[in-house]
Amino acid sequence: MRRREFISWTLKAGAVALLPAIWTGCQRNSAKASIGLPPLAYAEDALEPHISARTMAFHYGKHHQGYVDNVNKLVAKTPYAGMPLEALVVSSAGDAEAGAIFNNAAQVYNHNFYWNSMAPGGGKEPTGAVQEGLAASFGSYDGFKKAFLDAATGQFGSGWAWLVIRDGKLEVMATSNADTPLAHGLKPVLVIDVWEHAYYLDYQNQRKAYVEAFLANLVNWEFAAQNLS
């Protein structure tokens, strides 16, 4: 891929601040590099009873793996082959002819972020910079929880609810289907998956109960703190 083409794609995606690091990453990757399925940081049953091992086996082992397999097939023999994942998401978001590539690459990225947004024994109220950031943006931790719950339950159909950094402040946003903050030049901090396959085996149609369980028992504030820096 020529540098001029890459810059054009990145500008369309609204991620100017990411361009130098992403382009450097592209240069380091060979055309034979592929997107992989990262290992989980915990066992598939470690989030029980809030998310079952059965849900994890389907969600991580089949849905997430499927997106990984699809994106590697789709980018083969295209200018996107060999790009690191984040660069692939950003650049394909600005390409009207790469919709399938973007959808699968963004779903891989979003799922990677989701698994890291949870931890066994998580959900405790955050401290330090995260707590200060939430208080500054939402008035209190309870204010954040309400905004996050509203975004996650109010997202019609499939999608995601995110905590992101916009102009130096924390903000909650929802995205539909495979859409991701990276495509809008925003830095993600935390995410919950509200596609039905993320919770239906455990909660059926009770999305609110799933989101409440995520906030109370699973959210990984240490991971969120790392994303503030």
pLDDT confidence tier of residue 33, bands split at 50, 70 and 90: low
Long-range contacts of 39-46 (CB under 8 A, 24+ apart): 40/115, 41/115, 41/116, 41/119, 42/119, 42/120, 46/120
pLDDT confidence tier of residue 18, bands split at 50, 70 and 90: very low
- Residue 167 pairs in a beta bridge with none
The answer, yes or no, to whether residue 20 has pLDDT greater than 70, is no
What is the mean predicted confidence (pLDDT) over 143-166?
98
C-alpha closest to that of 94 among 193, 178, 10, 194: 10
pLDDT confidence tier of residue 174, bands split at 50, 70 and 90: very high
The answer, yes or no, to whether residue 209 has pLDDT greater than 70, is yes
All CATH 3.55.40.20 domain ranges in the chain, comma separated: 128-226
Cα gap 21→213, rounded to integer Å:
36
| Identity at 179, one-letter amino acid code | D
What is the mean predicted confidence (pLDDT) over 93-106?
96
What pLDDT does 94 receive?
A: 86
Give the architecture-level CATH label for domain 3-41+52-116. Answer: Orthogonal Bundle (1.10)
Domain 128-226 has CATH 3.55.40.20: yes
All CATH 1.10.287.990 domain ranges in the chain, comma separated: 3-41+52-116
Burial, 124: exposed, middle or buried (Cβ in 10 Å; 0-12, 13-18, 19+)? Answer: exposed
Q: What is the pTM of this model?
A: 0.86
What is the Rg, in whole angstroms, of the alpha carbon atoms belonging to the chain? 17
- Tokens 């059965």 locate to 54
| Identity at 193, one-letter amino acid code | D
